[in-house]
Amino acid sequence: MADYVIVTDSSCDLPDRLAREYEIVVLPLSFHIKGKDYFNYLDEREMPISEFYSQIRAGEPCTTSAVNVAAYKSAIEPLLQQGKNILDIAFSSGLSATYSSAKIACDELSEKYPERKIFAVDTLAASLGQGLLVYLAACLQREGKKIEEVRDWVEQNKLSLCHWFTVDDLNHLKRGGRISGATALFGTMLNIKPIMHVDDEGRLIPVGKVRGRRASLDALADHMEETAVNPASQTVFISHGDCLKDAEYLAAEIKRRMGVKNFVIGNVGPVIGAHSGPGTMALFFLGTRR
């Protein structure tokens, strides 16, 4: 058994079964909708993901909150008291204050428990991109790698973790300030779909546009073909905003083009979904560059 625990937060969007299988400690971010606060647990105990997207489709506004320092300390300190070391792999600092909270908590606990190893890594990643890094770190842990080896691997490889997104409804990007009202209006009229990625600073950036939903899904596969490293040997992660059939289409297209055999398909959780909306599709893999 490893002498360290991998900790992350629920913006990783990992399927709950994987988090439990690899014994990953997942701290929930929170979201506020219809006048009530909910914790975003991976097992959906406070709100099923289908209900969340139903409310978003009905036009309910939703806001999200980062994990704070106190929550990190209360989750991590009992593990330290049990003699465990900590590797925290956190949500992108370019999108959330969660990493900042994690780093402060880890630094404060390092002073209190100088005999323990406590590391925080800024993934500069989001959704199942963050989840893929956490999963690969957990695989290395199972192989017997030491905490420093896993930390260093994540730091050295996180900018090779490619994120490609598209959304079905431009109005959610308009509400989040990512595009103008005029762009959303004319884009919707012309059936324009944006192609976005997470850049080297961990921010979600529009990089292109195509006409039509199917073309936008194919564009995600195109980008993977351009940059993926040995794609057939990878486990590719796909997350979706309540549009499973589109995710299955994308997986089939990637399998046809690149021979990929292993996929993990999961939901875009409330933390990302509140800003990207239903119909979001995201693809994650290791490549030559982001």
Retrieve residue 290's tokens: 């982001």
Average pLDDT (257-272) is 97
Tally Cβ neighbours within 10 Å of residue 114.
8
Q: How confident is the model at residue 206 (pLDDT cuts 50, 70, 90)?
A: confident
pLDDT at 185: 47
Length of the chain, in residues: 290
pLDDT at 168: 83
Residue 190 has pLDDT above 80, yes or no: no
Residues with Cβ within 8 Å of 45's Cβ and at least 6 positions away in sequence, in order, are none
Residue 152 has pLDDT above 90, yes or no: yes
C-alpha closest to that of 289 among 224, 203, 217: 224
Angle at 139 between CA 284 and CA 11, to 5 degrees: 45
pLDDT at 30: 96
Of all residues in the chain, the percent with pLDDT exceeding 90 is 86
pLDDT at 181: 59
Of 88-97, 160-169, 187-196, which gets the smallest average pLDDT? 187-196
Domains parsed from the chain with CATH numbers: 4-158 (3.40.50.10170), 160-286 (3.30.1180.10)
The secondary element (H helix, E strand) that includes residue 220 is helix 213-227
Residue 31 has pLDDT above 90, yes or no: yes
Retrieve residue 125's tokens: 């990643």
pLDDT at 175: 61
Rg, C-alpha atoms of the chain: 19
More confident residue, 275 or 48: 48
Q: What is the pTM of this model?
A: 0.93
Question: CA-to-CA distance for 99 and 61, rounded, in angstroms?
Answer: 25
Q: How confident is the model at residue 221 (pLDDT cuts 50, 70, 90)?
A: very high
Residue 177 has pLDDT above 70, yes or no: no
Of 105-114, 176-185, 237-246, which gets the smallest average pLDDT? 176-185
Q: How confident is the model at residue 174 (pLDDT cuts 50, 70, 90)?
A: low
Tally Cβ neighbours within 10 Å of residue 8.
28
Residue 186 has pLDDT above 70, yes or no: no
pLDDT at 171: 66
Mean residue pLDDT of the chain comes to: 93
Average pLDDT (190-205) is 87
Average pLDDT (112-135) is 97
